[in-house]
Structure 1
Amino acid sequence: MADTAEFDPDLIRSYKFPETTYTYTERDVVLYALGVGACARDALDVDELKYVYHEGGQQFVQVLPTFAALFSNGNLINLPGLQFDPRLLLHGQQYIELHKPFPSSACV
């Protein structure tokens, strides 16, 4: 299903991304942490347990900073001038700058 159309970078540069909202709960945060391997080696590892469990007076679970990578999921699928099979996309690098920790549930 190869497309021989030329890639036009100007179409993508001029594209205005629609404003989107991403809502998540503490359950989503915990499932993400477990999915990327938090507590996989040691279920009682205090450095990782804080991402999946309320411990010792901790009011909420902490959010892994890489959770932010989920917010842009799906925005590349219908870009004008860019045709590709998203199943073949390799996510090689991303930069995340956080000014404060994420809350354990929010609407962003």
Structure 2
Amino acid sequence: MVYLVLAVVGLVGTWTFNVVAIVERRDFLGEWFGSGPSVDSLGVDLAVVAVAAIVLMVVEGRRLRMRGLWLYVLLVPLVALAFAFPLFLSARERRLAGERAERASGTPPAAGASSSR
């Protein structure tokens, strides 16, 4: 549940400013990368974290055989890392909880049970 709350905060927090930038016809990338070394440092910091998060999502998603993995990766640049990564973590937690429940019940996984639920 914490991850879903963070995903909503990330979505609202980032897109509030994105909408303002769109409405005001601002040069989003130009302002982000063209405002000096401290902003450049932030850009590099976030880019490295985004790449690390995507690698984790792909590796962990494949390990858990999660469906729709491509969607989380696509959401990173199209919506926001602050939304996509907590959303992925929430789906991952649900997947792991489902696997624990299946093991506890002794029921073998059904065909197609690799969804993120």
Q: Could you state the TM-score of these two structures normalised by the residue count of structure 1?
A: 0.27
Q: Relative contact order, CA 8 A, sep 6+: which one is greater?
A: 1
